[in-house]
Amino acid sequence: MHGVEFAAGTVFAGYRIDRLLGRGGMGTVYLAAHPRLPRRVALKLLNRELYSDPEVRGRFEREADVSAHLDHPGIVSVLDRGVEDGLMWISMQYVDGTDASVFRREPMDPARAIGIIAHTAEALDYAHERGVLHRDVKPANILLAPARTGDRVLLTDFGIARLRGDARQLTRTGAFLATLAYASPEQLSGTAVDHRSDQYSLACTLFTLLTGESPFPADNPGAVVAAHLTKPVPRASATINNLPPGVDEVIARAMAKDPAERFDSCAEFAHAAMTAAGPASRVIASGRVTPLSQGRADIDAAASESGPVVQERWSARTEVSAPGHTLIRSEPLGSAHRPQPAVSSRWRVLAVSLIVLAMVAGVGVIGVGAIYWKFVRPNRVAPPPNWGGHASVASGFTDLIPSGPTGRGWREASCFATPSLVVLPGDPAPAQQITCTDTNGVTSWYTEFPTTADADAYLARHTTEDATRQLPDTTVTAHRPRDPGAPFTLATREHGNPLSANTVVEVSWPGHSFEETRDNWWQQAPF
């Protein structure tokens, strides 16, 4: 029998089969009910005829082994594995959505594409920090599900991933498991790979999302390999109108043939792409993302009705309105905090010589001072980046949010200014938001509204008050979501603190109830 055929209602390894999710060359994936918990899982089964193949079986086992090392909200969790009736199986976190490959031949809005890449980059860097290389980054392995703030993005399929230092090979002679369209030159040439190989594949993925086509499309596999090894990186702006050329330069650097010429991390690549895209204006209406003209005259001529909102990751904001939607334009966050280039030691030696000559020639104190200031003064280290336009959000939660996006918050949380905000019709439009994820897998969104009335209106519409916690000078209320399927597990609001009066905090702890989140996060959080 080729593949695995189970009818709805069949019980396998304790899991009750609901329906077929997908079928591939290696296995079959079903939606199934967990045998003991009220949750659904993706049950992945290796095709029966492949069980005797040690290399394929090794890849299947590797997916569970490697994923067990990773606990990140942007990586699909592997829950369990086993062998039943001669079938190898893995139970995985079920993501109710689709994968990014569905956008093949359909160019995606640049703001959304870069946002997806930024979330994937964070997950990859997390894996790299723990010694795991994915080695098969591509749109089909990036899962997308709807979320309150746009796309929920999760990286999956670590079947050919490798732990650093593990020399075991999972590719049989003459076969290459990574998808050619997204494979790095070092993978194709058989040389050593590191985290920068995943960055190359991530850049190929961004190119595909932007243009609808992979960087080196060809029917002949040999032509694809030759292009990755020898051809220059194509320019996405040649296909997409109004795409800033700077995005081409960022992709070209991340896809450099020499890994040493790429960015140091995937997050650095994603940030560079976001910066190069500029303060692009976007409007979301009826589920479609439509670019608007950035011309001042076009913006000033817009009408004044409010509706759904998308806010890019920018600080200084200009709001205008048009029928059916509201547009928020802004300036790039953090541009004032870029490190200044250091003066090289060669220039410093030369400058000292100039000072000596200047003093002999009698050019005066001003001339000598100018030379000193430009070349000799000690290299100034730029301060770490702060929250810029999002400082008003962070200032109300100094014990929860770090002083800047490079720091760590409560429970070692990593935080960033949320790239985009999509507002449901009828909801008040937020001002800005910071997102944090801690080491327990708890994600918290700190959303600042223009007024306290807006914050109250949002909570009244989506939650019911559950508990109150008394602090020395303020009180904190815990709110239960009205909709059991809401993307947050708990919401909270601090009363009596003017710095956080307009901010609603929503918390998501996948796999945990409201009560568990209330007792283990809300009751202990240092508001």
- Domain limits, the chain: 11-93, 98-168+175-277, 282-332, 340-376, 388-522
DSSP 52-109: T-HHHHHHHHHHHHHHTT---TTBPPEEEEEEETTEEEEEEE--SSEEGGGGTTSPPP
pLDDT 10s per residue in the chain (527 long)?
445 788 999 999 999 999 998 876 677 899 999 988 888 999 988 887 777 777 777 777 777 777 777 889 999 988 888 988 888 899 989 988 889 998 878 899 999 999 999 999 999 999 999 888 888 899 999 999 988 777 899 998 876 544 444 433 333 333 344 578 999 999 888 788 899 999 999 999 999 999 999 999 987 788 888 899 989 999 999 989 889 999 999 999 999 999 999 999 999 999 999 999 976 433 222 222 322 222 322 222 222 222 333 333 233 333 333 333 333 333 333 333 333 344 444 444 444 444 445 454 554 444 444 444 444 444 444 455 688 888 999 999 999 999 998 889 999 998 888 765 667 778 898 988 998 989 888 989 999 999 999 999 999 999 999 999 999 989 999 999 998 878 889 999 999 999 999 999 999 998 899 999 999 999 999 99
Q: Which of 99, 136, 151, 157 is catalytic?
A: 136
Give me the pLDDT at residue 318, please: 31
Instruction: Give dist(CA 300, CA 240) in Å, integer.
Output: 26
CA dihedral 330, 333, 335, 341 (to 10 degrees): -160
Q: Report the pLDDT value the prediction gives residue 263, as an integer from 0 to 100.
A: 96
pLDDT at res. 420 = 59
Token pair recorded at residue 276: 């190069």
Rg (CA), the chain: 26
User: What is the pLDDT, as a whole number, of residue 416?
Assistant: 85
Contacts of 311 (CB under 8 A, 6+ apart): 317, 328, 330, 418, 420, 421, 430, 432, 433
The CATH fold of domain 11-93: Phosphorylase Kinase; domain 1 (3.30.200)
Residue 457: its H or E element: helix 452-462
Q: Residue 96 catalytic?
A: no
Selection from 272, 187, 266 nearest residue 224 by Cα: 187
CATH 3.30.70.260 fits 98-168+175-277, yes or no: no
Coil, strand or helix at 445: strand
Given phi > 0 = left and psi -120 to 50 = alpha, else beta, which region is 426? Answer: left
Q: Which of 495, 488, 448, 505 is nearest to 470 (CA)?
A: 495
Largest CA distance in the chain: 95
Residue whose token pair is 């590797």: 62
pLDDT at 62: 74
Q: Are 273 and 255 in contact (CB under 8 A)?
A: no
* Other beta carbons less than 10 A from residue 109's beta carbon: 19
Q: Tell me the C-alpha distance between 370 and 360, whole Å.
A: 16
Q: How many residues does the chain have?
A: 527
Strands across the sheet containing 87-93: 11-12, 15-23, 27-33, 40-46, 87-93, 78-84
Nearest C-alpha neighbor of 336 from the set 313, 312, 315, 311 = 315
Assigned token pair, 180 = 């050619």
Residue 233, C-beta contacts closer than 8 angstroms, at least 6 positions apart: 215, 248, 251, 252, 255
Rounded CA gap, 168 and 186, in Å?
18
Predicted confidence at residue 180, as pLDDT, reads 86
- What pLDDT is stored for residue 147 in this prediction? 81
Predicted confidence at residue 458, as pLDDT, reads 94
Residue 213: name the closest of 115, 107, 111 by CA. Answer: 107
Residue-level pLDDT at 360? 47
Contacts 24+ apart (CB under 8 A), 327-332: 327/281, 327/282, 327/283, 327/292, 327/299, 327/302, 328/429, 329/279, 329/281, 329/294, 329/299, 330/279, 330/389, 331/279, 332/275, 332/278, 332/279
